[in-house]
Structure 1
């Protein structure tokens, strides 16, 4: 009989689930040696186990470590970042589009996401044992299903096509959607289409939206506003613009602030603490100074003692931020390393606490606003509102902003430009290009602060390339041959 530390495997991953956590830091450190069934006879164990599911998002392959962190993968594979000649070559293969099934840079997310999913299903398994009841029970189920949906969404957009990516994308192979706690499952298969996976994600999120009772005071846990915001994101990827607008407006109705200009730098630079500013944040993964091993910004750079970066912002993107754009100073620091000057990405460096230990913003209201603005434009229902939303965002980012008057293609271009500027280094760029069926086209500029220096080796990734779907880990396929590999790997 397995005790408090429960060894489980799913499609070639082995993880450990424990049932005791520090509520604020969401640690999972066992202090009780007992069978899991006995542990789950206490109401507090459900909260601790649920917090353990959040903790899984802070592991290697998701939002921790240098290699394969999702804080950088969505940008180093695109035209947003360029490798420095003075770095350690961390993630170089992925930046050069050398994706392979035995390289954790693109496969690490697979096991990390299924770890989080397994932990949510562990909570759901015990909800029928009578310990929780009423709204306490339905809220716990809503939270678990919402978090489960998030992890499945991250998987399907990385390892399968995005519905808007190609005319037949919805009917192509999806990912395994895990809905039960089955530690020894080695028969799971990718038996769903992309469209069917999205339907399941949306079903979980809709249940969460209808039943979650937590307010959004604690940004480290899901709330109704964040669930609505996630529904807006998922429906944008699905190409359902009416529901992108519907749920985006609901999210913004509850949490309308998109981070005012006075708070914008503070939401990035202040380390975790009771007084931390979270203006405009809908959902984040808590990362306190006590968790100094979770140096999430280290994927970008380290202080040794001067700032050394693995990747720096592409020169063309850097110059796209105007001098009056608050994001420029919040995201970048120009400094010298090894006698060369670089435009370092210091969005996650922190200020006043352990270096690179900051919360990870999974969803912000600014993204939801951009989702809704794009959906209004693409649906043709209200381009005037699309412009109004765009101007609302720009008014909080540019100190000398005059409301824009764009229309037609110019309006769409402006919305997509602000999306790139706003969500740079937040795991968005790769997936935006993918869902819009646009190529990666790098600038050809070098890594130094003025665009000189060493350019990227690979400059282009074409729209039709099979590499837009990352490889399934070879270890997953060896453990379970029913998991099909993606084409050309």
Structure 2
């Protein structure tokens, strides 16, 4: 009998499985069972099928739509550790072998955060690929052609979003756009590369992201102002603006084009910055406390939110208690040091101009039982994710609007860039930029970076801003001397710091992967 294996969609198949492939003791032919890849056989019993009917497809689509919501660890928590604590916005918060290396620049391939993030993202890509590859072959006639096109478009936008994060974190990563076939003794040589893919250069990854987004635009649904959890055309517009701002495909005209398209889609700045992150308290006239708890988020689906994960009473997030007091339960897990502690350097930047409303929406002070970075009676905490009912916004219009300002700076339109920066400053309660900020490209770039830092603090943007604009060495090699709360730097930041190490466990399992230089 032919030796046959149907395996889950994995990127690195453990070596011990490969060594057992020829063995008849693993004679396993699960064509009549379900797996991560297949849902049984076709009507003739001759071929495996990924989706047995429309219900299976729509169920998998819902899984894709909830990946961000259900992946709070690698999509959000670890992204903040990288983008905020590895930059100058935050300290690690809870010093340990996982977090401290991000704070002091000593990240290695053995870091467990890197491993879970890599595996989480690659697993999510596999889930997107399942829809892209198999939806057209579903034989159920009730699954319309329009639905097939839409579901595939959504999956391509999702895959692009995941790869956009991966390529910015690791640079050269495996490009996987298919689903690995069954491994048998006869097909192992053919299938092997799919389970052990080599890295692809960053430019090619960006080109695949661009292709996925442009193809996804054709059939993805329009933005629904009532539901910002969808993988809509507007999500693709936002991602394209961000992609074209990055060095490999930099095209400032296209950044402006897609930023303007979002405005045409109906997006804009909300009047009150606090509406994006606020909560509804049982007594709105009193401050939050254990007796005056959050009963819901203040708002969802605001016109500024492009893509968000939503949580509700009875279906809440868990990640909020990693950052501070969850306002729906004041004391819940508030017995140990929290992650992503706001840095003194960030706080000084917030208070450098009096009256910035964003400060009190981003940073809060509580009394606690530890004094790692601040006195225990006045300890700083990240405040943007303040209850388990708040949405986590992945894509926000203010981010894209400010990227338009970056594009205008790149094109030499300093006044146009200043006008955009002034929009977010005015909402924050600040005056327009002084004339001196517009006298040179350097001065407007500094004002721009400061504005993005304050507007988007604790939203996973700061590190990538520094990398994109080649500011890592200038900013990070000096912040340790001026921020007395930051522990000593382990290694100076260089151009090799712009990407992080490939997880060593993944390299050990996949001999076709090569560690990034400098690690």
TM-score, scaled relative to structure 2: 0.76
Give SS of 2:458's match: coil
Give runs of aligned pairs for residues 322-337 of structure 1, distance below 5 A.
Answer: 322=351, 323-337=354-368
User: C-alpha distance in 2, partners of 1:360/1:209?
Assistant: 24
Give runs of aligned pairs for residues 211-230 of structure 1, distance below 5 A.
Answer: 211-217=219-225, 218-230=227-239
Give SS of 1:344's match: strand
Give 2:426's match in structure 1, choosing from 395, 403, 406: 395
Alignment of 1:231 with 2:263, yes or no, is no
Q: Report deviation, 1:441.
A: 3.5
Which residue number corresponds to residue 10 of structure 2?
9
User: C-alpha distance in 2, partners of 1:216/1:384?
Assistant: 34
Alignment of 1:482 with 2:512, yes or no, is yes
Alignment of 1:367 with 2:399, yes or no, is yes
Give runs of aligned pairs for residues 28-427 of structure 1, distance below 5 A.
Answer: 35=40, 40-57=51-68, 58-59=70-71, 61-63=73-75, 69-84=78-93, 91-129=99-137, 130-131=139-140, 132-160=143-171, 174-182=172-180, 185-190=194-199, 192-217=200-225, 218-238=227-247, 239-261=250-272, 264-270=273-279, 276=300, 278-292=302-316, 294-301=317-324, 303=331, 304-305=333-334, 308-322=337-351, 323-338=354-369, 339-350=376-387, 354=388, 358-380=390-412, 382-398=413-429, 400-402=430-432, 404-405=434-435, 406-407=437-438, 408=440, 409-427=442-460
User: C-alpha distance in 1, partners of 2:426/2:72?
Assistant: 37
Greater displacement, 218-227 / 301-310:
301-310
RMSD: 3.0
User: C-alpha distance in 1, partners of 2:239/2:379?
Assistant: 35
Give SS of 2:302's match: coil
- Conserved? CA contact 2:324–2:338, under 8 Å: yes
Greater Rg, structure 1 or structure 2?
Answer: 2
Q: 1:9 to 1:39 in 2, by over 3 A?
A: closer
Give SS of 1:100's match: coil
User: C-alpha distance in 1, partners of 2:173/2:52?
Assistant: 33
Greater displacement, 296-305 / 309-318:
296-305
Q: Could you tell me which runs of 5 or more consecutive residues in structure 1 were left unpaired when the two chains were aligned.
A: 14-29, 161-173
User: C-alpha distance in 2, partners of 1:70/1:389?
Assistant: 27
Alignment deviations for residues 259-305 of structure 1 (CA, whole Å, 9 cap, x no partner): 222xx22321338779635230001123444444x422333335454
Greater displacement, 53-62 / 244-253:
53-62
User: C-alpha distance in 1, partners of 2:516/2:7?
Assistant: 31
Q: Report deviation, 1:321.
A: 1.7
Q: Report deviation, 1:403.
A: 6.1
Which residue number corresponds to residue 168 of structure 1?
none
Q: 1:402 to 1:60 in 2, by over 3 A?
A: closer
Q: Report deviation, 1:367.
A: 0.4
Which residue number corresponds to residue 441 of structure 1?
477
Q: 1:41 to 1:374 in 2, by over 3 A?
A: same
Which residue number corresponds to residue 169 of structure 1?
none
- Conserved? CA contact 1:258–1:279, under 8 Å: yes
Q: Report deviation, 1:145.
A: 0.3
Greater displacement, 54-63 / 103-112:
54-63
User: C-alpha distance in 1, partners of 2:76/2:257?
Assistant: 34
Aligned length: 434
Alignment deviations for residues 215-236 of structure 1 (CA, whole Å, 9 cap, x no partner): 2331111111221011000110
- Conserved? CA contact 2:39–2:51, under 8 Å: no
Which residue number corresponds to residue 16 of structure 1?
none
Q: Report deviation, 1:420.
A: 0.9
User: C-alpha distance in 2, partners of 1:197/1:207?
Assistant: 15
User: C-alpha distance in 1, partners of 2:404/2:178?
Assistant: 33
